[in-house]
A and B are shown apart, each in its own frame.
Chain A
Amino acid sequence: MNRGLLRLVCVLAVLAGLDYVAWRWLASVNWSAWWIAVPLVIAETYSLIDTVFFAVTMWRVKVRTGPDAPPAGTVDVFITTYDEPVDLVLTTARAAKAIRYPHSTWILDDGDRPGMRAAAQREGVGYVTRSDDWVDKPRHAKAGNLNNALFQTDGEFLLILDADQIAEPQILDSTLGYFADPKVALVQTPQFFSNVDEADPLGNQAPLFYGPIQQGKDGWNAAFFCGSNAVLRRDALMELGIVGYVRDVEQTVRLSLRSADRMLAKAERSARSDPDAARLISEVRGHVEDANARLRAGESVGEVTYRLQKQVDEVSRSAVRSDVAAMAEDLRAIAALPVQADSELGAFVVDEAALDRLAERDWSPLGAIDSVQRIADTLAVDRPGQAQPVMPMATISVTEDMATAMQLHAGGWRSVYHHEILAWGLAPEDLGTMLGQRLRWAQGTLQVMLKDNPLVKRGLTAGQRLMYFATMWSYLSGFASVVYLAAPVIYLLTGIMPVTAWSVEFFARFLPYFILSQLMFLVAARGLKTWRGQQYALALFPLWIRACWTAAANVWFGRKLGFVVTPKERSGRAPIPWRQIWPQLTAMAVLVIAAVVGVLRVIAGTADGLGTLVNTVWVIYDLVVLAVIPRAALYRGPAAHAARKEPRLR
């Protein structure tokens, strides 16, 4: 591929885009119809930024020819499954076992199915399920499954395969060599589907992503981890887990010590009638204030919590000591009574060991005060809410892969995209399943954007920030798409123009931008079929919008996302997902009506011919793009369904 030509086209497309959008903002917004004019120019600005991100990605396309070093190191191959049929998982396991480079194969069965366990035993592959630690704890889906397995295995490298990914025997020979660079933490290979025919109406193959886009990100040392068909360095993951644990604990300690002071002040006021409690609270409060001051002064969380722990223990012990002293006093008074001399009264002995026991956390009198108890919990730095204190795979998102890769990059690790198909998977074969999968990807990506924004995340390079943000940005396209669908409809029905004129100047600025950006895609794609991808980017607008609001509701208000595992095998005829596609079908009907009305208005002489022509072309483009939806809804799987049996179809 000619990198010089690609860069030239990228520069030209961006310049033409800047020229067009600047002119749009400064000279051609029809302010009298601002309610459509402003959304349109914002949508166009959104698209320009998308174009710029794409150009930046392509700037550094890196085509690797394979590792220089020979493969080395010990490897665990993980096959993750939840509810996929046992036969399907076994086929994958057999292929994994047949990988040439020495390795151990493990089935990670999150469904804990006896049938799967027996089959794994028969096949002679390892079988891992969640340990007892996970009972009643957040399970974190696939990330949790992998984290659990990481603590039950010991290979230096991990090849991760989804339950349907049939690996080629040379997959490790082709990828392990990259790890000769000690900073490489991840080698991702393409995901390619054997059950997709040429037409690919569901747009399952992602040739632009598993190709130029990943190669471009690779150039910025930001190749993404995509969950399967990737090799990871265990050390790097463990480091992530430990760094994450420390950060989490530090944050928790800082936050809770700050709020502890307020809570204690409140407790002190309400305990005024109880002098014993009030005295203890005020002692503990003094120590907490001191701890906060030390934290502010920059002392380490470890030292501060250790000292505070000692101080709280001492308060507890002195409370016990004063209780014991009071009891001894009472007992002496009883012994002095004239009646009923009790020989056993002298038996009351509280030695140091007994005193320590009474002062321990579970028996301490401090336990009676909630606010103090909560401080004690804070100081116990074992993440009681989680199954494992150390979680190597990121758990902040339902797309653990992207979140994990970003953490790795922020930690200074390198990633590699190796462009060679080394595993063959199964794609969804009906629209409903496909939509569920896309929704999850979009939600997960947006979760990461909202929880751990790459633009401000410490440790990432500028290029990495852009590469992650570019992907997140692309998922916001649903809103722009609505505007692109609405603008021509409004013009054709009412004659209201979002631009001041469909003038020569408009075309002189718009057409170069449009043609050059299409050319950029064409050159970047190197003859790959990218039309499906372009169609779905616009046609799935209701899905992208839904992903935005569900992810925001999840991150900001703790609402459930509704996580769905993508079924890998079709059971009977899948129904048409009307509830997901009615917006597109409605849009198509409205577009057709608008085009007809527009033409009638020209015939009647109430509309401008050129404007109607431009907008009718626009409508036709929208219709051609949306046409993929009804086609996909009627799709019934590839003709050659037996493809999986003979997956070597290269």
Chain B
Amino acid sequence: MNITTTIREDGVAVLAADGRINLVTAPTVRREVQRVVDEGHARLTLDLSAVEFIDSSGLGALVSGLKTARTAGGDLRLAAASEQVASVLRLTNLDRILRVYPATDDAYRD
């Protein structure tokens, strides 16, 4: 799995991951979120369009990322989740806490 991070003009950090977010790759997600927040970008969007699979450890990384962002006064939002990712989020009701937006541009319309 790889994560490509870009900072948009409005200060929102877009983290685009690909492949599988699982037991092995989840720590990478946590570290990347921490790094971006430490650099002062507390508003993050995680672009999941290229993520094909997520397991419970991956979910843990998302929630941990949310905590990191919220603690810094920001937020973590998800965009463009694939079918498997969406069903795992639904199964745990996390989709009600971590809203999934259709595209990264929609995540901070509010």
Contacts and interface: CB of A to CB of B under 8 A. Distances in A.
B97 A369 contact: no
B23 A319 contact: yes
A223 interface: no
B57 A368 contact: yes
A320 B56 contact: yes
Interface string A301-316: 0000000000000000
B66 interface: yes
Interface in A300-355: 319-320, 323-324, 326-327, 330-331, 333-334, 337, 339-340, 342, 344-345, 347-350, 354
A323 B27 contact: no
B93 A334 contact: no
A552 interface: no
Given A323-B57, A347-B93, A348-B97, A276 B23 contact: yes
Interface string B52-92: 00011101100110110011010100000000000010011
A599 to B, nearest CB: 81
Sort chain A's interface into a size bin: 35 or more
B97 A331 contact: yes
A324 B92 CA distance: 9
A274 B22 CA distance: 12
Contact of A339 (B56, B63, B73): B73
Nearest to A370: B24
Interface stretch (A150-158, A202-210, A358-366, A585-593): A358-366
B96 interface: yes
Nearest to B84: A363
How would you classify the secondary structure of chain A's contact residues: helix, strand, loop or mixed? helix
B83 to A, nearest CB: 13
A564 B23 CA distance: 49
Contact of A323 (B60, B71, B96): B60
Contacts of B56: 319-320, 323-324, 358-359, 363, 365
A365 B57 contact: yes
Interface in A277-313: 277, 280
B25 interface: yes
B63 A331 contact: yes
Given A368-B23, A368-B25, A330 B96 contact: no
A367 B55 contact: yes
B64 A330 contact: yes
Contacts of A354: 91-92
Q: Residue among A280, A357, A363 with the most chain B CB within 10 A? A: A363
Interface in A364-385: 364-369
Nearest to A275: B27
Given A274-B27, A326-B60, A344-B97, A363 B67 contact: no
Contacts of B97: 331, 342, 344-345, 347-348
A369 B23 contact: yes
A320 B64 CA distance: 15
Nearest to B65: A330
Nearest to A324: B56
Contacts of A367: 22, 55
Contacts of B70: 334, 337, 339-340
Nearest to A342: B97
A152 B20 CA distance: 41
A319 B24 contact: no
Contact of A319 (B57, B63, B71, B93): B57
B22 A365 contact: yes
Nearest to B99: A344
B96 A363 contact: no
B20 A368 contact: yes
B94 interface: yes
Contact of A365 (B27, B55, B67, B92): B55
A98 B93 CA distance: 68
A327 B24 contact: no
Contacts of A327: 59-60, 63-64, 94
A18 B94 CA distance: 86
Contacts of A274: 24, 27
Contacts of B91: 354, 357-358
Contacts of B23: 276-277, 280, 319, 365-366, 368-369
Contacts of A358: 55-56, 88, 91-92
Contacts of A280: 23
Given A358-B55, A365-B22, A368-B23, A344 B96 contact: yes
A330 B57 contact: no
Contacts of A326: 60, 63-64
Contacts of B59: 323, 327
A354 B94 CA distance: 12
A61 to B, nearest CB: 67
Contacts of B20: 368
Given A334-B70, A344-B97, A369 B57 contact: no
Nearest to A326: B60
Contact of A363 (B25, B63, B88): B88
Nearest to B26: A276
A364 B92 contact: no
9 nearest A-B residue pairs (beta carbon): A368-B22, A323-B56, A368-B23, A365-B23, A347-B96, A368-B24, A327-B63, A320-B56, A330-B67
Given A347-B96, A347-B97, A357-B91, 17 more contacts: A274-B24, A276-B27, A276-B57, A277-B24, A319-B23, A323-B59, A323-B60, A324-B56, A327-B59, A330-B60, A333-B67, A337-B70, A342-B97, A348-B94, A354-B92, A358-B88, A366-B23
26 contacts: A274-B27, A277-B24, A323-B56, A323-B60, A327-B64, A330-B60, A330-B63, A330-B67, A331-B97, A333-B67, A333-B71, A334-B66, A334-B67, A340-B75, A342-B97, A344-B97, A345-B97, A348-B92, A348-B93, A354-B91, A358-B88, A365-B23, A367-B22, A368-B23, A368-B24, A369-B24
